[in-house]
Each structure stands twice: as structure tokens, then as C-alpha cells.
Chains A and B, each alone.
Chain A
Amino acid sequence: MNQFLFGGMPYVLLMTAIIGAIWRFRSNKYTWSSQSSQFLENKTLFFGSFPWHYGIITILLGHIFGIFFPSAILAWNGVPVRLYILELTALSAGFLAFFGLLALIYRRLTNTRVKALTTSWDVLVLIVLLIQVVTGLGNAILYRWGSNWYAGAAVPWIWSIFKLSPNVDYVSNLPLITKTHIFNAMIFIGLIPFSRLAHFVVINPYKYLIRPYQVVRWYRKGGPTPNIVQYK
């Protein structure tokens, strides 16, 4: 069972994500976004979207950092005070995301205008995210110190997946909550190309920081310049 869930499924869901992304990008780039509903309701959204995104981005960056520099995390955690700082920061970001998510779910369920736009994919995404955040918080509270054994157990397993020789032993003895967290994370990845989560990999906006303000396109071949005015 462990072999199936943590040895086989990661590949199935990763391939789903990659092939799905290519398929959607080629066949339906038009819909590649998270359809904003701020235009229809923006009061509750403020209390949902802001905390949710800032909380979850902090957590996510922490996880990604851990994948690449597990030893740095272990070294940092060598001193108890530093361990507490890391854990507390992560926990508060987690709660921030949690309350944001609750506000977002509440908004989806109660606002009639938002409901008119809600698809079953949106509901699925919210369920997956809720499970992910709740199990994550459960890990952090019940089994201390998560950052240590994330770097010690989960990260080696992730690398064993990437190296195509999955070693289930790293995760097979983890508590149920943690296992749920890990498996749900893979489902999350598998969902990305098919749902509003697609906006999760929209990397366009960073270009905005470096491009000039104005954009001019010429339909005549070899139009003079690509941009009208180069502002400082």
C-alpha cells in the first residue's frame, strides 16, 4: 500500500500535471488563469485573499527551500532559539493561510454572485487546499519539530522520487496526518493544470518589472520599434 501511494502515485500525478499542462497550454491557453471574482464581491475577499496568499506563499517557499537545502535547515535548527523562530514563523504563516482559506470558503458558499461563477473544480480545489492546510497545521502542532524531520525524512524521499528510485521507507512509518499531507500535496500538483490552480504557475507578471511601461505592436512586418517610449 505504501509502495503504491508513495512509490507509484507520485509518478502518475506528476505526469498528469506535466502532460495536462502541455495539453491545456496548447489547446486552451485562453482559459489559463484563475478567474477573478473580485469584481463581483470584494469585501470578504479582502479578508480571504490577502492572508491566504501571503501565508501560503511563505509556507510554500519554505518547503521549496527545504527540498534544495535540507542541511541548511538542520544546521539552522541546531540552536533551539533559532528552531523556535523558524517554527513560530511557519506556524503563524500557516494560521494566516488557514483563516484566509476559511474566509474564501465562506465567501464561495454564501455569496450568490460568487456562487454563480463557482464550478465543481473550484469546490474540489478548496477541499484539497483545506485538507492540506489542516493536516499541515496538525503536523506542526502535534508532532514537533516538523521542520527538522521534513528535512530529515520527507526531503530524502522527494529526492528518491526525482532520482527514479523511490525509497518508501523514508515515509512509510510517518503518522497518518503526515502521510495525508504528503499524498494530498501530490493530488494538488496533479490538479494544477486542470483547475483555477493554473494561475499558480503563471509566471508572466515578473516580466512587468523589467519591461517598459508602453507596448506597441505593428501588424506591418518589420515595424519600426517594439516599444513606444522608454520610461525610466
Chain B
Amino acid sequence: MDIRAQLSMNFHMDKCIGCHLCSVACKNIWTTRRGAEYMWWNNVETKPGAGYPLTWEDQERYRGGWEVSGGSLRLKLLKGPGKIRTLANIFFQPNLPTVDDYYEPFTFDYQNLFNAPAGDDQPVARPRSLITGEFMEKVVLGPNWDDDMGGSPLYAMNDPNLKGLSESQKEMLTKFHKLFFFYLPRICNHCLNPACVASCPSGAIYKRGEDGIVLIDQDTCRAWRFCVSACPYKKPYYNWANGKSEKCIFCYPRTETGQPNACAHSCTGRIRFVGVLLYDADRIEDTAKTPDERLVEAMRDIILDPNDPRVIAEARKAGIDENWLIAAQQSPAYNLFKKWRISMPNHPEFRTVPMNFYVPPLSPILHQAKSDSGGVFDPESMEFFNAIDKMRVPIRFLANLLSAGNEQVVLESLKKQLAVRMYRRQQRFGDVGESVVKSVLSQVGLTAQDAEDIFRLTALSTVQERFVIPETHREAMTSVDPRTMFEKRGSVGFGPKKKEFLGRTW
């Protein structure tokens, strides 16, 4: 057993209102530099939708992630000759997205509003490209271009997750009263089996042993861009201006000092939970090789119980600090993913073993399940509980998104969430029969205490309960050269802020 710690973020999708405060907080701190304007390390997409970059989930096109071939794990990108293919394609990458798949960064010519000569028409602010500096004919794509376009045949219908849905389910997207959509906030998953790390010819990308954060060494990166192609979530971004790849750094300067990530801290819906997970690094490869239908289960298996004395002893032997063990025992990530089993990974079938988890959203059920009685239900019986697969968001869609197609895992989570709601209704109003709630809770395998805890964490929790992030005290055991701190001043760590070198300015 080789125990390691991992920081993990969980997202309660039911609570996400799609306000993009997380994206803006992230952008303001990390990506307002030249060449990084188009990057959204944190982005929130509307699902169903094409996503950012467009159709990123379509690995037929991008060839990101891993596949099992002949019993061994291989990067999809390297189909055929294997690693030699990296060197063969090093001059031109066939699967690399271009800036047009994200969007051309632009600003508006606001000065014209003030400086335009007097005339018959109102002056306008024309869009101007941030790459070339020239005026753009029109803006054809932007961040969240298909925001809230859940019903649009142009955007929503292009969602790769719609495969396997019945025609009537797809048709719901065209009927205004029936259409469904929800939000999918995305940051780097800081995977256990990261494809970006495995694809980097320079060896510039690495996973940090202590907290599992995946980072790109800016001094070693040589702009080969294989990470961009290999990551199935398209979360490494290429900075076209300085020729380096960049990605979400899990706000490590904040988490190292025990503060929550900027995206998580700014979240108005309080949908994010950050905590420590302990896992067994010896089993990563086996986990990543598990067949699709058992993938989520395998990922839960690799996470270890932080209260198990054997695990604690092994973790101490592996050098995990005491404050990390305590944090692991109070970890909301552990509770949501492993203990209560209500959150699940995004696209586990990409086999990178992602370490961020999502609680699937509940959606309207009464109109569909009780259409004969006009959507009115009898609280005494709550029989719609058993018709949970009639929810407006098709289970199939959620399963494609969150569990590699395994509908049972999604159903389990939805039922548990509904059971907690019934439990709370019983507590609060008493109009649901106590025996009904009891049977429902036992049916989904929760105790009354569990239901209370889930309610507490997902509805009332404080900052300290949502973010259990231990300090690392890196300053005491640093391998960082303090002399470079002065050089990196004002550059948020991404190379010289502005250094003229032989005509290249950044």
C-alpha cells in the first residue's frame, strides 16, 4: 500500500445557478495576461451544450484520455506506434484544437464612444481582436456563447452526451415547457492518472506528491502542446503569446495556507466543497483499467477510509502530516463521494481517474410522474419516489456525463437526495408519514443521522465545514529558491511579466 493525499473538489450541481462568479474570480487572479485572455481555467457550461472548447467531450475528434488496449493502458493520442507517435507528430499535431475552437479573444473599441466626431448616428464600439489588434467583422464565439441555451437545436443538440437517448427524450429539448438544462462548473480534475503528464515530451508537467495538484513547470515547458491534445477535459491551455502551456493550479498558493480556492470561496450558491482524500497509489493503474460499468465503483474503492486505524498507521508511515490526517477525517469530499456515495466523477470513461466529483442535479418530476392527476401528489404516500427515472433530465444523460453510462450509480445518488428531502419535510412539516420516510431511508441505505448530516453539509454548512484544507507549511521544507521570488514578482508565477528578449516581448 502506498498511501497519498489528494485535494479534491466536489460540486453540488443542484445548487449551481450558473452565475459565473467562480470563473470571474479565477480570471481576475490568474488569466488576465496577454496570451491568456481566452483561457478559463474555471468555466461553467450549460448542459446540454457544446461546451468549451466546442464539443470537448468528443474524443473521436480530440483523442484525449486513455484507452485499454491489449490489457494495458495507453494514451488515445498515441494509437498505433505508441510513444514514437509523439515524436512523429511533434512538428504538427493533428488533434490540437485551435483558438477558433475556444474563441478569438476580443475587446471593444470603447474610445470611439467618446472620440467619435459629431454625426447623425450614435457611435458604436466595434469589437477588436486581442490577438491581431484589428477590428473583427463580427464576434462569432465567446466565453459561454451557449449559456442558458438548453433548448437550442444549434448548441444543445451538439452535446456528445446526448448519444443513447431516445428520440422522445431528445425531442424534449425542442419543447419549451419540457426542455431541461443545468450547469456544469469545470476546473482541472487533478487526476490520479493524468493524460497531460503522460503526454508531455519535455516532462514539464508533474503531480505534486503531497497534495496531488497537477502543475506545469513553466521553465521546462517547451511548447509542444501535447498536454492540450491529450487532456480529455481540455484543461491545459496554450498561451500563444509566450509559448507556454498553463492550467488550473488549484490555487495552490491559497490552499497551501489553508485558504479555499478562489473559485470555491467566491461561489454564491455554495456548491463547492474541498477536502482531502487518501488513496492507494499502487492501485491507480488497475482502477484506470476497470471496465466502464464498474469504473465509479473502482474509483470509490481506491479512496481509503481515513478513520480506519490501519490506514492511519500506513499514512503516518508514508509521511502524511497529522493535520492532513485530521482534515481527511473531516473531509466533505470523502463524505460526499465515498461515505454517502452521492457524488461522482465527470466522464470517468476517459480513464484519467479524475479527482473532482459532482452531485447530480435533481429536476422536476411531478409533471411527468403524476401527469394523470395534474402533478399533484399525496404527501402521505410519496409514491413518486419510485418513479424517479421519470425526472425531466433523463437519467441516461446524467449517466453519460457522470458515470460512464452506469445509470444505477446516478439513480442511487438521486434517490438518496430525494430521501433526504423527504426526511427533512417530515421533520419540518410532518405531513409525510414517518414510516414512509423510514422505509425510504432504509431503501437507499441511509440512517437518520446520515440524512441529517447530508442536509447539514449541503444546505447549512459554514465555510469551515465546506472547505477543510490543511496547511502544508511548505516554507519549512522548501525546495523553492527564495531568490526567484523577487524575479517572479508581479507575474503570478508565470514567467517574466514583461521582459524584452531579442524582440520577443511579454
When the two chains form their complex, are residues B206 and A216 in contact, meaning their CB atoms are under 8 A apart? yes
Q: How many Å lie between the Cα of A190 and that of B238 in the bound state?
A: 30
Least Cβ–Cβ distance between A225 and chain B, in angstroms:
8
Q: How many Å lie between the Cα of A219 and that of B72 in the bound state?
A: 31
The one of A50, A120, A213 that contacts B198, using a Cβ cutoff of 8 Å = A213
Least Cβ–Cβ distance between B280 and chain A, in angstroms:
11
Q: How many Å lie between the Cα of A113 and that of B132 in the bound state?
A: 5
Is the contact region of chain A dominated by helix, strand, or loop, or is it mixed?
Answer: loop
**Which of chain B's residues have a CB closer than 8 A to the CB of A217?**
206-209
**Which of chain B's residues have a CB closer than 8 A to the CB of A121?**
502-504
When the two chains form their complex, are residues A208 and B477 in contact, meaning their CB atoms are under 8 A apart? no
For B228, the closest partner residue in chain A by CB is A39
Contacts of A3-39 to chain B: CB distance below 8 A: 28-39
Q: Mark each residue of chain B from 313 to 327: 1 if its CB lies under 8 Å from any CB of chain A, else 0.
A: 000001100000000
The one of A202, A208, A229, A231 that contacts B203, using a Cβ cutoff of 8 Å = A208
Q: Mark each residue of chain A from 107 to 132: 1 if its CB lies under 8 Å from any CB of chain B, else 0.
A: 00000110111011100000000000
When the two chains form their complex, are residues B87 and A214 in contact, meaning their CB atoms are under 8 A apart? no
Is B501 part of the contact surface with A, judged by Cβ < 8 Å?
Answer: yes
Is A72 part of the contact surface with B, judged by Cβ < 8 Å?
Answer: no
Is A85 part of the contact surface with B, judged by Cβ < 8 Å?
Answer: no
Q: How many Å lie between the Cα of A81 and that of B133 in the bound state?
A: 57
When the two chains form their complex, are residues B207 and A116 in contact, meaning their CB atoms are under 8 A apart? no
Q: How many Å lie between the Cα of A218 and that of B207 in the bound state?
A: 9
Q: How many Å lie between the Cα of A116 and that of B240 in the bound state?
A: 11
When the two chains form their complex, are residues B222 and A42 in contact, meaning their CB atoms are under 8 A apart? no
Q: How many Å lie between the Cα of A208 and that of B78 in the bound state?
A: 13
When the two chains form their complex, are residues A219 and B208 in contact, meaning their CB atoms are under 8 A apart? yes
Is A215 part of the contact surface with B, judged by Cβ < 8 Å?
Answer: yes
When the two chains form their complex, are residues A42 and B98 in contact, meaning their CB atoms are under 8 A apart? yes
How many residues in A have their beta carbons less than 8 Å from beta carbons of B?
57
Least Cβ–Cβ distance between B276 and chain A, in angstroms:
16
When the two chains form their complex, are residues A112 and B319 in contact, meaning their CB atoms are under 8 A apart? no
When the two chains form their complex, are residues A219 and B501 in contact, meaning their CB atoms are under 8 A apart? no
For B318, the closest partner residue in chain A by CB is A224
**Which of chain A's residues have a CB closer than 8 A to the CB of B72?**
231-232
Known: A35-B243, A218-B210, A224-B319. A207 touches B222 (CB 8 A): no
When the two chains form their complex, are residues B93 and A38 in contact, meaning their CB atoms are under 8 A apart? yes
Q: Mark each residue of chain B from 71 to 89: 1 if its CB lies under 8 Å from any CB of chain A, else 0.
A: 0110100000001101100
When the two chains form their complex, are residues B222 and A228 in contact, meaning their CB atoms are under 8 A apart? no
Q: How many Å lie between the Cα of A205 and that of B201 in the bound state?
A: 5
Least Cβ–Cβ distance between A21 and chain B, in angstroms:
13
**Which of chain B's residues have a CB closer than 8 A to the CB of A28?**
499, 501
The one of A194, A211, A215, A220 that contacts B477, using a Cβ cutoff of 8 Å = A220
Known: A208-B86, A220-B319. A30 touches B209 (CB 8 A): no
Q: Mark each residue of chain A from 46 to 58: 1 if its CB lies under 8 Å from any CB of chain B, else 0.
A: 1001101110000
**Which of chain A's residues have a CB closer than 8 A to the CB of B268?**
none
Contacts of A171-224 to chain B: CB distance below 8 A: 194-195, 199, 202, 204-209, 211, 213-221, 223-224
Is B498 part of the contact surface with A, judged by Cβ < 8 Å?
Answer: no
**Which of chain A's residues have a CB closer than 8 A to the CB of B272?**
none
The one of B194, B205, B501 that contacts A31, using a Cβ cutoff of 8 Å = B501
Q: How many Å lie between the Cα of A121 and that of B505 in the bound state?
A: 13
Q: How many Å lie between the Cα of A220 and that of B256 in the bound state?
A: 13
The one of A30, A38, A206, A225 that contacts B219, using a Cβ cutoff of 8 Å = A30
**Which of chain A's residues have a CB closer than 8 A to the CB of B99?**
39-40, 113
**Which of chain A's residues have a CB closer than 8 A to the CB of B198?**
213-214
For A47, the closest partner residue in chain B by CB is B92
Is B91 part of the contact surface with A, judged by Cβ < 8 Å?
Answer: yes
Contacts of B1-21 to chain A: CB distance below 8 A: 2
When the two chains form their complex, are residues B209 and A218 in contact, meaning their CB atoms are under 8 A apart? yes
Known: A28-B501, A231-B73. A216 touches B207 (CB 8 A): yes
A-B pairs with the 5 shortest C-beta distances? A35-B243, A213-B198, A205-B201, A218-B209, A53-B91
Q: A38-B225, A219-B209 are in contact. List 8 more A-B contacts (CB 8 A).
A: A49-B91, A116-B131, A204-B203, A213-B198, A216-B208, A223-B209, A224-B2, A228-B281
Q: Could you name 24 residue pairs across A and B whose Cβ atoms are closer than 8 Å?
A: A31-B501, A33-B243, A34-B223, A35-B504, A38-B96, A40-B98, A40-B240, A42-B92, A50-B92, A113-B131, A116-B131, A120-B503, A194-B502, A206-B87, A211-B203, A214-B207, A215-B203, A216-B207, A219-B477, A219-B479, A224-B2, A224-B318, A228-B284, A231-B73
